[in-house]
Structure 1
Amino acid sequence: MSLTLQQASAILTAALAKSKEAGYAPMGIAVLDAAGHLKAFVSEDGASMFRFDIARGKAWGAVGMGVSSRVLGERAKGNPNFFVSLASASEGKFLPQTGAVLIKDADGTLLGAVGASGGTGDEDEAICIAGVEAAGLVVG
């Protein structure tokens, strides 16, 4: 099974709703498929120009390494040279900062990742989790 545009749109809609409900700053949210290709992106009015690159980088790192960006950020603390090398090797697409989670189906199959940028890492992660769960998928 692969991530559908309908699922990606549902993730974005729910994540934006969670952000608005919580009163977070304007967000950029990127949904990537399991190969790291952009499936959908949304940028709220007032979001800065960096939101896309940051949201995509968080999601791209998560899907590429198979863990949330929170886990990657923790791992980076213990091996900073490796993670700087990953960022360089990926031409800057790899960003190990809290704010992205994996998207899985009920069987545990990796479908992709969603990353957000605009708030704190915890805020970004919270809206991603809300989006995945609201779409009837599983957070990885």
Structure 2
Amino acid sequence: MSLTLATCRIIADTALATGREKGMKPLGIVIVDARGSVRLTLVEDGNALLRPDIAHGKAFGCVAVGVGGRALERMAKERPHFIGALGGLSRDRLTPVPGGVLIRNAEGVLLGAVGVSGDTSDNDEVCALAGIAAAGLKADTGE
């Protein structure tokens, strides 16, 4: 199974709807496939200039390292030189904070990742989780 455009739309649309229901700030959402290629980018009106880039860094970082955003955040705290090196290797396309969530199928196969940015990292993650669940897929936050 791959991340079809229809599946990406379910994830992104549900993530945006969740943000609106919870009164969050405007969100930017980027979904990448298992190789890090962008499948979908959606940016709400009023989203700050760099938020889509941050969302991309969250999603890309997750698939690049193979762990969720919470694991990347732990690595950044525990092994800052390692994460710094990964930042350079990825041409600064790595944002090691929550809000980046791996997307897996029922068998646990990695399909890609979603990155959400615009509110707090914890709230961004809530939106990503809602989107992945709505698509009937498994989320991996790196918890």
* TM-score for the superposition, normalised by structure 2: 0.95
Task: Summarize deviations over 1:76-120 as a string: whole Å, max 9, x none.
Answer: 111101101111111110111111111011111110000000011
Distance 1:74 1:81 in 2: 13
- Report what 2:49 is aligned to: 49
- After TM superposition, give the deviation of residue 66 of structure 1 in Å: 1.4
Deviations 1:35-83 (A, max 9, x none): 0000001000000110111000000011111111111101111110110
**Counterpart for residue 13 of structure 2:** 13
For residues 91 and 65 of structure 2, what CA distance do their matches in structure 1 show? 16
Query: Unpaired segments of 5 or more residues in structure 1?
Result: none
**2:118 paired residue number:** 118
> Does 1:32 pair with 2:21?
no
2:65 corresponds in structure 1 to: 65
Q: SS of the residue aligned with 1:103?
A: strand
Equivalents in 2 of 1:67, 1:82: separation in Å? 14
1:103 aligns with 2:103: yes
CA distance in 1, matches of 2:70, 2:99: 7
Distance (whole Å) between structure 2 residues aligned to residue 56 and residue 80 of structure 1: 20
Q: What is the DSSP-based 3-state SS (H/G/I as helix, E as strand, rest coil) of the residue aligned with 2:91?
A: coil
1:130 corresponds in structure 2 to: 130
Q: Which stretches of structure 1, 4 residues or more, deviate above 6 A after TM superposition?
A: none
What letter matches 2:7 in structure 1? Q
Residue 23 (structure 1) aligns with: 23
CA RMSD of aligned residues (A): 0.7
**How many residues are matched?**
140
Taking structure 1 as the reference length, the TM-score comes to: 0.97
Q: What is the aligned-residue identity percentage?
A: 46
